[in-house]
Structure 1
Amino acid sequence: MPACRFKPLLAEWRLVLSLDPDQAEDNKDGEMEYMLLTDILGIEDYMGDMDFKIAGTRRGVTALQADVKLKHGISLKIVMEAIQRGFEGKAVVLGIMNQTIVRPRSEKKGNWPVSEEIAVPIHKRSRFLGPGGLHLKSLTAETGVQVFPVDESKYCLFAPSQVAMDEGKEMIEKWLVEEREPQLEFGSICNAKITEVRESGVMLSLHPAMTPVWLLLRVVHPSALGLEVGHEIAVKYFGRDPVSGQ
């Protein structure tokens, strides 16, 4: 999912606390000799007694992280010094960044990841997902576009580039395109064709462009009423189900 966007430039600074091994084990009152090193190569992180990271803008902090390996913790003095050193280092990095770019680019590059929300009517959800999610699997395999549900009728598309997003949306449009559905009047009587017969009822098609619906027969088997595939029966239309969309 897309992350939060900040208008000011952001930078991170990393520090490592280093103590004498004997002092780190024995000292419990927080008074100890120490060194704060800039973590550049990674070996300091492995050998150090605390890994400290600070990120933010010139005006403040957006994230802090500290991995303390000492049994008895660290003193407030070390914490405050680490934050101060982090602010100073962060300011240096931001100064270098400002020499290259002052503000975020207004236009995205063609290879930047992009995201977009699309609305899918509930009654078209089965066409969008495909049998067993087959459409979504093929969408990711062919274009790299991933789909995340937002709510009942909205989905978020995440693509590795704008080109991939355009290809993915074209595939989705083909799945969702359909013949224009007739606007049936609530309570009207219309003819429906039986497309499938089961013990519990029959599947009815009101129109080729509409999703077939089940007519449950709780008393008798459809064959007892002479109902067969291809027969047409008169039904009363009461609108779509608010949950399934059928």
Structure 2
Amino acid sequence: DFKVAGTEKGVTALQMDIKIEGINEEIMRTALAQARDGRIHILDKMNAVISTHRTEMSEFAPRIITIKIHADKIRDVIGKGGATIRAITEETGATIDIQDDGTVMIFSSDYNAGQSALRRVEDITAEVEVGKIYEGRVAKLMDFGAFVTILPGKDGLVHISQISDERVENVSDKLSEGDVIQVKVLEVDRQGRIRLSMKAVNEETSES
């Protein structure tokens, strides 16, 4: 039993099972020559269908995505009692393994599952950027403004004066809990409190 794998340029692997003490060089040369003829014949048939290899994997092919996060963020991805990482796994279908040095490996059965899990991890570990516009969800209304979730576990305050260019008497006149809105980060103070503005988004849009 003699199996040979390779390309047009040469052999990449071979396996031989024999029931005799050994073979000589001539037998090996003959076997390799026959294997090459068979290999070239098969490659010609394959090239007739697809002449070059695909530049991208099939979206249905299993894959592993590896990223590095700051070690301080590991607990955020895992969550209390493993709740966060368990939710990501259940909702995306991907499996996540985190090393002590912050290496995160995402195992998925297809492209969409892997990318969905990757986005979740990136959102959890992302740092809020001053000046950046985020799409957030209104989490809670207060008399003085609204708290908006812009990233997982990261809420900021839109003060009533930053909701609109017009005077706003009641926050509930303009916003409701669950609304998805665009906000701009004005400031992140030393305590990590985030100050947001809807008005600044409108001003930036008008200027552009």
Give the structure-2-normalised TM-score.
0.50
Flag the structure with larger Rg: 1
Which structure has more helix as a fraction of its residues?
Answer: 2
